Structure 1
């Protein structure tokens, strides 16, 4: 469904991504792990159309979308749940969700999708008139996911979805990602909880200093001594 081929990305003279290649099969969960500053968020933003790569290709169903503006990428079916949730704090839960349905691909089914989100996330229905900024961190993360789903994406990139959440809420959020995948959503997961993300992922990539240094099935990387020492403290 998505293929990244030899992607180079720079911030001025500093190179953030160096020849990054990866594949995301339809229906899979693909994990991207690495230390802070490894290039994970840069990769997500490049795929989403927020950053323009210097070289390389980003193929969405065979079409090169590298350098396309983000609204075009979104309307093709590539969604993003950004790091830090990024809800509109002064808008209500309902208004935040409706903002997610402004894409041409989703406008016609706005009402149906809103009801679907309330069924998926009953807590959001309870708080539909409440300002998003007054929600708990976990509730805001659920809102960010639901807002993304309002755009009817076929693939969603989750950038650190458990960041800053309680352990119980971390499990709930990652269980939500797994459930969405089981319902047919293709997922790219960038997650600080390396052990859990590798267990969830059918395929995983390790980024170090902007380069892919390891790749393979998630369960295999979980047993790799280099991964265990670097990210699991084992």
Structure 2
């Protein structure tokens, strides 16, 4: 074998080892996320889990934020696989959206760290993200986010054609539903709701997970139907003689 072919083989082996190491680091990060949450996930602990010096992590990733972004990519890949598994194009659009919403909500409840990661990303501006994450990783993250969002948008378009969903830009609405659900599930993550029984005396209550789940799913369906529901209600009220 020529020296040139040997050199190519060594480069390929080095590249494969690098990819394997990156996968190991991301896998360890997700394991720690699922065990402890994102706040308590430290680079030292991730390095120990993989069995490497933490300095090696920074050879593979630009920083902690980039590693966390790629871990979110891993979550999103699993989420999209679950959404694909439950979607049935033969069902009515409302039932399809309900199935995807249930799966998304249950995924967030099963993996609270996913909600934390996704919410952390949403709190950053585009400028901040590009300052913390390299462009290739941003492309991976965008691609991973687009997969489930496009799946939702397809159902929204089907619902619009059937006349049951609001005539709103489906890409926007899919992003809105994604963000809306994450916000709702963050309430379950915090576990608290606040009310004011008397002026100046706020009361803190426990947030029931079952209630959060059902409300989040209902909110998704209601938002998708949108103005259609209001129009139907007005028509029924007019027929009943209600002019309020």
TM-score bracket, normalised by the shorter chain, equals: under 0.3
- Whose helix proportion is higher, 1 or 2? 2
Provide TM-score, normalisation by structure 1: 0.27
Provide TM-score, normalisation by structure 2: 0.26
- Whose strand proportion is higher, 1 or 2? 1
